[in-house]
Every structure is written in structure tokens, then in C-alpha cells.
Chain A
Amino acid sequence: MSIILSILVDGIAYGMILFMISVGLSITMGLMRIINLAHGGFALFGGAMAHVLTIRMGMPFLGAFLLSVLGVVVIAAPLERLLYRHIYGFDELGQVLATVGIVFLMIATVNLFLGSTILAIRSPEVFTTAVNLGFKTLPFHRVVVIASGMVLLAGLWLLVEKTRFGIYLRAAVDNRNAAASLGIDTPRVYLAAFSLGAGLAATGGILGAELLPIEAYYPLRYMVLFLIVVAVGGLGSVAGSFFAALGLGILDTFGRYLLPDIGPIFFFLAIIMLLALRPNGLLGRAG
């Protein structure tokens, strides 16, 4: 029983990380109709900056974390303006090629400055202490990850459902031409959504470094995982990404613990079947 519980907790924590990294991807893919294979690069940049700040410059974790997320947003915004804006208009193949090109450049950049070894992030001491929940003790890190996942979900829900920006965003996801002709400044919505997604990816990358170690090839290694979350959850859906990420996180963790030999094979076969049967995802809309 306690084994199942700890697998479940690990699975949920893992799912939360996947959610944080993938939700931005889901929104931008739903919004700009772009296949962005470089999204994991923002998680990598976040993790790499946190590594430099905590290990090489000895900054405390919280400050380094905030500074890294901010740094990634500062990188992402001009990237959207200068590069991605032109990619939206390409056909599918062009988008794939261009974003593969971008992800290669991102990997090469990190590789040039930091090498290709694992980039550890020094997390605060409290992360390793155990928290007693009465029936079970958990490492504090898992609690932090799960709590921040919930906070981000709530924040995103408020942002999308209750604010003016959320209304613009939903309108643009549903029909960007109609939204533009109603006077919504869609390029600015794109820019904001893209930067937000990059910031979330950086958050997930840093908090999840213990589960998905940061190294130069991170965006390629886990690319398929992030894409699967988006595909299963349906493009442009925050709730869809959340449930897909949790479900996949738990499924993958169970597979790895209980069937260590064929766990990943089982996981990918399940995904292939699922996507073949429901090409638009579980909560996805047609088209």
C-alpha cells in the first residue's frame, strides 16, 4: 500500500512538472497553430541559468529561481518578435524544420558555455527534509512541486477565465481572424502568451530538475514527452494539459516502478494506441 502511495505521489509530482512545461506549449500551439519543437529549450535555459546562479555564483535558490524565470521571459519575447512571428505563416513542414533548427541552436549555445554534462541546481536544504502527513512522510521537494503546480493551475484558470487578457486569448484561440477583426491586438496576445509559456517552461525545468535532469540535450530528450502531453490533452486547453500531464506522469511512473524492463515500451505503445484512436486528444476539439 505504502509503495503504491509513494509511486502515486512521485507520479503526481512528475505530472505537475510535465504540466508546467507543456501548458505553455499547448496554449501557443492552439493559438498560433504552430508546431513548436523548441519549447523544451526554454526549460533548459531556465535550468541552465539556475545552475549558473546557484552553483557558480552561490546565489540563494529562491532569488536564482525568480531571476532565471525572468531571464527566460526576457529571451523569449524578442525571439517571438524576431523569429517565431515569421514561422507562424509557414506550412507544417517549414515549422518543424525551423523549430528543429532553433532547438539545435539552443542546445549548441548551452553546450558552448556549460558543456554537455548534467547541470545540477543547488536546491535549499529544506527540500530534502521529510514532511509528515500523518499516514506518510514525503520529501519536501515533492510537496513544493505539487503545491506550485496547483498554484499555477489556479493562476492560469483565473487568468484565462476571469481577466480581459483571458478573454482575448480564448477569442484568438477559437478564431484568430474574427478576434483580429473585432479589434483585438492579436500580435500582442501572441507575444504575451508566448512569453508566459516560456516562463512556465522555465519554472517547470528548474523545479523538475530532480526528476528530469538538466543537460544540453534536454529539449530533444524530453521533446516527445511534452508533445505527447499537448496531443493527449488537446491543443489550447489548460484543463486538458493538466489532466493529460497528471495521467501520463502517473502512468509513466507506475510503469517504471512496477515493470522496470518494459515500462517505457508499454508507456509509448499506450500513447501510440491512444493517439491513433483519438487524434485530437482526449479533450481536444475537432480540427
Chain B
Amino acid sequence: MTDLVTPRVSTRRAIPLFGSLWPIAIVILAAFAAFFLFPYDLAFLTRIVIMMVFVLSFDLILGYAGIATLGHAAMYGCGAYAAGLFALHISPDPLVGLLIGATAGALIGWASGLVLLRTHGMTLLIISIAVTMVLQEAASKARWLTGGADGLPGISVSPILGFFEFDFVGQVAFIYSVCVLVAVLVLCHVLVSSPFGLALRGIKNSASRMRAIGTPVYRRKVTVYTIAGAIAGIAGALAAQVTGLVGLEVFNFSLSADVMVMLILGGAGRLYGALIGTLIFMTVHHVAASIDPFNWLFVIGFMLLVVVFALPDGLVSLPARLVRFLRRA
């Protein structure tokens, strides 16, 4: 096994750590530009950044490990509720809150992953949806803890690191979210260019071949599902802290579906694909919803069909396709 894999790892590793850090640099630059260009839309920009964190976590399991689920909201929601409850009852510290959210997401990812990664195809999809529905039902019934349908209102957090207080315009919230996004990006980058990341790609391409060369496929999948759960939990916790409220809609099916759409739109299996997809989806959503809030589903439905039929590899494959098309013409 080592003979087959190690040489590829070493060659890949030599370049990526510095060579392809440019997406991270671009994210930081774009965040700076956005901060000064759209000072009145910071709340919306923060939502985009949080969704980027969430979509990145989904990219790990769908794009890299090839596990298609429709229940990714489960981990996001658990992270949001955990962070919200923590801030309300125990301590208002935001960074510890993120950690709690990550732990909650990882726990639920691990527990549900143990069951659902034994299956595949439609059964896996159904179980992943069912897990989210169980959680939503539980959150709506446990009124004493979660506030039921009213949700958890009035979550407030203390200044970050004791210095930076959340302000009314949302400047601190935006910078805070961008910092979290960059940290998650670096983490994902290290993860996918590690031997573990290579094993995941191998599993996506052919699970039986990976089994044949001695990779514990099931255990690798549970591991990545748990890590993705932790990151999704961070996204949920971030949303809870920034918006100050958590409701049952964090477990909505449409959130899981939206995440899948954003990822596929941008291009699964590439970290910057997740970022681009989220940016475009959220912007189109924002614009379409402000023009006509009721018919937004038409837009997303058509967008899905267009992507599936015309751009199966997502928008990031567009330049390469254009080049090929021009060369032929």
C-alpha cells in the first residue's frame, strides 16, 4: 500500500502548502474589499461568510469523500442550539461557544455517521433526512430546554477575547466570521492535501479498490463525517452568536438542500468551488428574494436543472470548458 500511495503524497505535498494558498489570500483580500465597498450590507455579507463555512464542511463529505446526504443541517442545527444554550446559561464567551458548537456538531456527526455510513445510495439519503427530522422534532418538543417553536431568543455574547465588542452595524461580527472562515479554510486545506485527504478521494473514486489496498474505508468515512460535523457545528454556532437567535428552522430540509445546491453550483471537490458557489447562490437569493420573495423557488429550481444538465462539474469548470470550446472553434 505505501508503495502505491506515498510517492504521490510527497509530490503533492511539496507544492500545495504554499503554492495553492492563493484562494485563502483572495478570500482575505475580497473580505477587505467587501468591508469597505458595502459598509451597509455587512449583516448580509456575514451570512454569506457563515454559509461558506457550512458549505466547506459539506464539501469535505460530498466533494472529497463522495458521500451524498440530505441531512447536513443536523450538525449545523446542533451546533447552533449548543452554542445558544451555552451562551444563555453558562458563559457568554464567543470562542468557547464556537468550541461547544463544534463539539456538538462532531458528536452528532459521529453518532449518526456510525449508523448511516453503513448504508449507501437512497437508504443513506433517507436516514440522513430522518436524523434531521428526529432532531427537529426533539427540539420542538423539548420546550423547557429549546423554547420549542419560539426558539431561543436573546442570545448575547461577550466581547471577543475580552476586547472586541459586537457593534450595532455588524463590523466586528463580519471580521470575526471572516477570521473563522480563514481558519476553517486553512484546516480544510491541510486536511485535503494530507494522506487522509488522498484516502478520501480514493474512496470517492472506488471504495472497493481502497478496501483492497488496506484502507479502513468505513472508519475513514466516519472520521471525515465527524470532522465535517464539527465544522458545520462551528457554522451553526457562529450563526447563533451573530444573529442572537436560534429557531427550529436550523433543521429545515431546505437548508440541507440549499447547501448541496451551493456546493454543486460552485463545483464539488474543490475548496474554492464551495466558496464561489455560496457567494453566487446567496447573492442571487438576496436579489431574487428582494424582487419577488414568493417565487424564489422558481429561480433555484431552474438553477439546479441548468447546473445538472449543462454544468455537472460546477461553475469552476467553466473557464476550462470555455478554453476547450475556443480551441475547437
- Which residues of A248-271 are within 8 A (CB) of B? 261-262, 264-265, 268-269, 271
Contact B126 A275 (CB under 8 A): yes
Contact B122 A105 (CB under 8 A): no
Query: Does any Cβ of A come within 8 Å of B321's Cβ?
Result: no
| Interface pick from B30-38, B85-93, B175-183, B257-265 | B257-265
Within the complex, the shortest CB–CB distance from A189 to chain B, in Å, comes to 21
The residues of B that contact A29 with a CB separation of less than 8 Å are 122
Query: Does any Cβ of A come within 8 Å of B134's Cβ?
Result: yes
Q: How far is the CA of A265 from the CA of B294 in the complex (A)?
A: 31
Q: How far is the CA of A20 from the CA of B125 in the complex (A)?
A: 22
Q: Classify the interface of chain B: helix, strand, loop or mixed.
A: helix
Specify which of B127, B141, B308 is in contact with A98 (CB 8 Å cutoff). Answer: B308
Query: Does any Cβ of A come within 8 Å of B68's Cβ?
Result: yes
Kindly report which residue of chain B lies nearest to residue A96, judged by CB atoms: B68
Q: How far is the CA of A98 from the CA of B123 in the complex (A)?
A: 18
Within the complex, the shortest CB–CB distance from A33 to chain B, in Å, comes to 10
Contact A271 B130 (CB under 8 A): yes
Kindly report which residue of chain B lies nearest to residue A83, judged by CB atoms: B305
The residues of B that contact A279 with a CB separation of less than 8 Å are 118-120, 123
Interface bits A99-112 vs B (CB < 8 Å: 1, else 0): 01111110110011
Our count of residue pairs bridging A and B at CB distance below 8 angstroms stands at 117
B contacts with A, residue count (CB < 8 A): 42
Query: Does any Cβ of B come within 8 Å of A231's Cβ?
Result: yes
Q: How far is the CA of A269 from the CA of B138 in the complex (A)?
A: 11
| Interface pick from A11-19, A63-71, A85-93 | A85-93
Contact B301 A105 (CB under 8 A): yes
The residues of A that contact B260 with a CB separation of less than 8 Å are 96-97, 100
Q: How far is the CA of A262 from the CA of B139 in the complex (A)?
A: 11
| Interface pick from A1-9, A141-149, A180-188, A220-228 | A220-228
Contact B301 A272 (CB under 8 A): no
Contact B295 A108 (CB under 8 A): yes
Contact B297 A111 (CB under 8 A): yes
The residues of B that contact A112 with a CB separation of less than 8 Å are 294-295, 298
Query: Does any Cβ of A come within 8 Å of B307's Cβ?
Result: yes
The residues of A that contact B300 with a CB separation of less than 8 Å are 101, 104
Interface bits B290-329 vs A (CB < 8 Å: 1, else 0): 0000110110111111011100100000000000000000
Specify which of A104, A220, A262, A272 is in contact with B115 (CB 8 Å cutoff). Answer: A272
Query: Does any Cβ of B come within 8 Å of A276's Cβ?
Result: yes
Given contacts A94-B312, A102-B305, A268-B133, contact A231 B122 (CB under 8 A): yes
Closest 10 CB pairs of A and B: A101-B304, A104-B301, A108-B297, A105-B301, A279-B119, A108-B298, A101-B305, A98-B308, A279-B123, A268-B134
A interface residue numbers (CB < 8 A to B): 29, 35, 86, 90, 92-94, 96-98, 100-105, 107-108, 111-112, 220, 223-224, 227-228, 230-231, 261-262, 264-265, 268-269, 271-273, 275-276, 279-280
B interface residue numbers (CB < 8 A to A): 62, 68, 70, 115-116, 118-123, 125-127, 129-131, 133-134, 137-138, 141, 253-254, 257, 260-261, 264, 294-295, 297-298, 300-305, 307-309, 312
